[in-house]
Amino acid sequence: MILSLTALALVTSGGLAGLTTNDGAHGFTEILYAYTSAFANNGQNFAGLSANSIFYNLTTAIAMVVGRFGLAIPALALAGLFAAQGRRPVTLGTLPTDGIEFGVLLGSTALIVGGLSFFPALALGAILEHC
């Protein structure tokens, strides 16, 4: 959702009109941060982005709603499904979920998928701006 709204802001005139002082890599970072912050229910932005427009008010509101309810509703639905399931017998093909191995596998998978999702955006914004 964050990357989609950032892309929408970068290709529309309403999104680009909010960049008052910076363009290029820093402007991209400002827009990405605005949507990331809105998704995390905070709603901050850099000073170079005039986010008090109809376009940014609507799109950051969408990001806030999805960030709050778009994550909570599926999590509660999964919790209900898992609570309704019964215990299954342990066999040779069962992956134990109460050990260090499963924690490392789950954590490293989350880091790799998250990193691969956001690395192109970071390369276009913060990393390019630093170089």
Task: State the CB neighbour count (10 A cutoff) for residue 129.
Answer: 14
pLDDT for the residue 120: 84
Task: Give the Å distances, CA to CA, from 115 to 44, 119, 126.
Answer: 23, 6, 14
Per-residue pLDDT tens, the chain, 131 aa: give them. 988 999 999 999 988 888 888 788 888 888 988 999 999 877 788 878 888 889 999 999 999 999 999 989 999 999 999 999 988 888 888 888 888 999 999 999 999 998 898 888 878 777 777 76
Q: Which helix (H) or strand (E) holds 112?
A: helix 100-122
| DSSP assignment string, 19-40 | BSS--HHHHHHHHHHHHHHHHT
Cβ 3 vs Cβ 57: under 8 Å: no
Sketch the domain layout of the chain as residue ranges: 2-86
Cβ 9 vs Cβ 31: under 8 Å: yes
Q: Which helix (H) or strand (E) holds 11?
A: helix 2-11
DSSP-H helix ranges across 40-99: 54-84
